[in-house]
Copies of this chain bind each other. A is one copy, B any other.
Amino acid sequence: MVDSDTLFKVSYGLYLICSGNAGKGNGYISNTVFQVSSDPVKFATCCSKNNYTSGLIMETGAFSVSVLSTDVKPQLIATFGYRSGRDIDKLAAFNVRYGQTGVPLITESAVAVFEFRILETVDVGTHFLFIAGLLNSEMIDATKEPMTYRYYREVRKGFAPKNAPTYIDKSSAGAKS
* Copies of this protein in the complex: 2
- Report A31 CB to chain B, min CB distance, Å: 8
Task: Give chain A's interface residue range (CB within 8 Å of chain B).
Answer: 35 or more
Chain B nearest Cβ from A67, distance in angstroms: 5
Find A177's partner among B135, B138, B148, B149 (CB 8 Å cutoff). B135
- Contact among B1, B35, B148, B169 for A148, CB-based, below 8 A: B148
Contact across chains for B39 and A125 when beta carbons are under 8 A apart: yes
Q: Decide yes or no whether A173 CB sits under 8 A from chain B.
A: yes
Q: Which of A16-24, A51-59, A72-80, A159-167 contacts B (4 or more CB under 8 A)?
A: A159-167
Q: A2-B41, A7-B41, A37-B126 are in contact. List 14 more A-B contacts (CB 8 A).
A: A3-B112, A3-B138, A6-B138, A9-B112, A11-B13, A11-B148, A12-B34, A38-B166, A38-B167, A39-B126, A39-B169, A40-B177, A44-B124, A122-B122
